[in-house]
Amino acid sequence: MEPFTRDATLVKHLPAHVGQTVELQGWVANRRDSKLRTFIVLRDGTGFVQCVVERDRVGEAAFALSRKLGLESSIYVRGKVVSDARQMGGVEVHVETLKAYQVVQDYPIAKKAHGVEFLMDRRHLWLRSRRQWAIMQIRNRAIQAIHRYFQRHDFVQADAPILTGNACEGTTTLFPTPFYDQTAYLTQSGQLYGEAMAMAFGRIYTFGPTFRAEKSKTRRHLSEFWMIEPEMAFFDLDMLMDFIEDFVRTVTLEVVEQSRMEMEILGRDPAPLRKVAEPFERLEYERAVRVLNGTERVNGMSAVEMWRQELDHTRAEIQSVQGRIAELEGLLKQPMKEKKRNYYQAELNQAKARLHTLEERRKNIPLWIESAENFRFGNDFGGADETVLTLLFDRPVMVYNWPRAIKAFYMKGVPGRPDLVKGVDLLAPEGYGEIVGGSERETDEQVLRQRIREENLPEEAFEWYLDLRRFGTVPHAGFGLGFERYVSWLAKLPHVREAIPFPRMYGRLFP
């Protein structure tokens, strides 16, 4: 194609080229016209930069071209890099040459709010938007920071198979797929293989996709998501908790420091993330039960009181939103210009939507209070229970020593407590909930065999796994980090679907 150059400068490197003339290639992310100049925001994947096209500098033909460039037109620009404090990134480009690979008209995603379905149907284009760009930058940094962390700590990346013959935990729904004359399943966890590889290489981690065929439609679920699963030989639960804490702390702080601009684009306040520098709360499950049902208080407050406080906040906000709605409705009854009327109407609609959300929360809190009050040993946490625990402690919370009955068969028992296992979950604050689940693994072949029978799992499919306990069994432990949930927390996303380029979820296979 005609204007193509092999010597283009990347937008992210422009601050180092102030005063120089550079070549850029990319797409029109935004365009605004004035009489004498056209402002083009050029996007090349590494960043965004405003390019100023003036008739006197580029000539009549190129100036006319600049007026025709629809959003996402692909262009070539040569121009001088100039400092400009008004721009994000601090520079802009004064264009001397402008050429187009393709002039685009009617790009479907407009510079305005769109609905979720509309955007999801156009995910292949939506990824180009500034917000999605910022999220994927954060995702990439998190991936890099995770690999760095493990490599620094003598881990080997050793991936597990995606096609498997047996269910790992047997509980959740699997995706079956033909495998020659057999049926295979898409993996829901690489853990069992991770244990085998830890016996081979000492410390390993997997980083790959996992699949769950749950018909869940919530902000926390994907059918295909990425999981990081480290497994360490000669490791116990205490070491595991120290490790999880240091891992999450180090990776999170690294990403926060590298992603200031992206967090600004996303409107994500980094302060709650920086709190990972402080010690995480470690809470035995039995204490979590007492905290939830109010027999033990935290900082002078019980879970129920925390919910009551949330309820008061919600009620107060409902009142203030209702007040504004009444005010707006009053205003709209009076004569005014169409433009102004519309502005008020838009605000009114927003307020009504907000009110709807708040009313739902108000209706739910009493149910959540009931759930907390009735929380007994043997119950698993609901989303609300996780939220109130992180609210009470105001930091990431690790819950450990869980009831055996609600955890997987491979977890090691707590000595002297046949009803407990050495599992640990990490709950992320700000309502994000469980992002890590891990445990010390059972090392005894007979105990494992017994547990497999109790869970009605096909014993013969686990013979290879039981081999690990016959030939040099050692204490070992590991965990799984749900990567999209983690990215969602880092970027404070309302839904995990934005944390992965092409989400696969219940009801969504395209694009």
Partner RNA sequence: UCCUCGGUAGCUCAGUUGGUUAGAGCGGGUGGCUGUUAACCACCAGGUCGGGGGUUCAAGUCCCUCCCGAGGAGCCA
**What single-letter DSSP state applies at residue 109?**
S
Among 37, 78, 141, 422, binds RNA (CB under 7 A): 37
Find the binding residues for RNA in span 132-191 (CB under 7 A).
169, 171-172, 189
- Considering only the stretches 214-222, 296-304, 317-325, 443-451, report the one whose residues sit in contact with RNA under the rule CB under 7 A: 214-222
Interface region with RNA, contact rule CB under 7 A, candidates 80-88, 201-209, 238-246, 460-468: 80-88
Q: Output the smallest distance, CB 218 to RNA, in A.
A: 4
Q: What residues numbered 5-34 form the site for RNA, per CB under 7 A?
A: 30, 32-34
- The span from the first CA to the last CA of the chain, in angstroms, equals 28
Smallest distance, RNA to C-beta of residue 507, A: 4
Of 177-185, 197-205, 318-326, 481-489, which segment contacts RNA by CB under 7 A? 481-489
Please list every residue from 223 through 282 that binds RNA, using CB under 7 A.
Answer: 223, 225, 227
- Quote the crossing angle between the two packed helices 483-491 and 130-152, to the nearest 10°: 120
Q: Kind and range of the H or E element at 453?
A: helix 445-454
Considering only 219, 354, 362, 395, the residue that binds RNA (CB under 7 A) is 219
Q: Applying CB under 7 A, which of residues 11, 69, 79, 92 lies at the interface with RNA? A: 92
Q: Which of 17, 99, 114, 449 binds RNA (CB under 7 A)?
A: 114
Q: How far is CA 197 from the centre of its chain?
A: 28
Tell me how many residues contact RNA (CB under 7 A): 77
What the block records as the tokens of 420 is 């407990």
* Alpha-helical regions (H) of 122-259: 123-126, 130-152, 191-201, 237-258
CA dihedral 295→298→304→307, nearest 10 degrees, is -170
Tell which positions 345-374 bind RNA, by CB under 7 A.
345, 349, 352, 356, 360, 364
- Are the C-beta atoms of residues 207 and 482 closer than 8 Å to each other? no
DSSP 382: P
Interatomic CA distance for residues 488 and 498, integer angstroms: 8
Stretch (H or E) spanning 21: strand 21-33
Please give the structure tokens belonging to residue 231.
């497994």
Q: Which is nearer to RNA, 25 or 38 (CB)?
A: 38
Site map 279..318 versus RNA, x via CB under 7 A: ----------------------------------------
Residue of the chain from 2, 7, 56, 117 that contacts RNA (CB under 7 A): 117
**Least Å distance between CB 338 and RNA?**
5
At residue 71, what is the residue type?
Answer: L
Please, are residues 88 and 75 in contact by the beta-carbon 8 Å criterion? no
437 lies in the site for RNA, by CB under 7 A? yes
Query: Is 285:402 a contact under the CB 8 Å cutoff?
Result: yes
